[in-house]
Amino acid sequence: MTAAPLAPHPHPAPTGIAAATTDLSKVYGSGDTRVVALDRVSISFHEGRFTAIMGPSGCGKSTLMHCAAGLDSFSSGSARIGTTELGSLNDEQLTRLRRDRIGFIFQAFNLMPTLTALENITLPLTIAGRKPDRQWLDHVVSLTGLSQRLGHRPGQLSGGQQQRVAVARALIARPSIIFGDEPTGNLDSRAGAEVLGFLRDSVRELGRTVVMVTHDPVAAAYADRVVFLSDGRLVDEMVQPTADRVLDRMKAFDARSRTS
């Protein structure tokens, strides 16, 4: 587990909703293989906030993140990024929305092995045919502590450094929201703490919005709010979480699933 975060931080006043779902359901398969992965989930992710999504394995965390981020289709209900309804977009519009307004961080860092750290960071802009804003690039690079590694390829970087490149890449196009699916899942506790600290700073200092799926109570404690899913439903939430309180909540899930 990663080191516990330090004191609670001051919050800027929330200005709006970065992403939201209303009665969102996702059903996989049919007949005997039918699985209701999400069951009418309504949730809002406020701008300038860091939210963690937790819950037992298979409860629908990744499905919720993927549907809310426009990576996966849903069966019913709605999802929006800002004021844009995802259900109203065709594939091309959805691709553009993901590229321009959303940053992604995955457990497997998903960097391009032949590109340098700098080229990986600026890749979303290169694809969009845009030039990096020099000041923003410098700011993101200095925040990630990667200044001395920009010419290195992913294979020449540690896991933590690679994930920091991935976080910088997620930030470079100034997305309105960043989604992370177990972003520290492949990192040791020290590297995980670095990446989580960086994500938290990007919320505090850069005003970004972060939504992160995790199974680690210590990682969740970096967030401003933790939401809990169980069997595809939103069952609880906790503000100003601590690792101990999150752990207790998760143990309550385990106890209930053993008796049900």
Ligand X SMILES: Nc1ncnc2c1ncn2[C@@H]1O[C@H](COP(=O)(O)OP(=O)(O)OP(=O)(O)O)[C@@H](O)[C@H]1O
Binding stretches for ligand X (CB under 6 A): 28-29, 35, 37, 55, 57-63, 215
H-helix or E-strand containing 246? helix 243-259
Nearest residue (CB) to ligand X, 119 versus 237: 237
Nearest residue (CB) to ligand X, 38 versus 121: 38
Nearest residue (CB) to ligand X, 149 versus 225: 225
CB of 39 to ligand X, least distance (A): 11
Exposed/middle/buried for 167, CB within 10 Å: 0-12, 13-18, 19+? buried
Residues in the chain: 260
CB of 59 to ligand X, least distance (A): 4
Q: With contact defined as beta carbons under 8 Å apart, do 181 and 213 qualify? A: yes
Nearest residue (CB) to ligand X, 137 versus 218: 218
H-helix or E-strand containing 21? strand 17-28
> What is d(CA 81, CA 101) in angstroms, rounded to the nearest whole number?
8
CB of 182 to ligand X, least distance (A): 7
In 106-122, which positions are buried (b, 16+ CB within 10 angstroms) versus exposed (e)? bbebebeeebbbbbbbb
CB of 40 to ligand X, least distance (A): 15
CB of 215 to ligand X, least distance (A): 6
Nearest residue (CB) to ligand X, 59 versus 166: 59
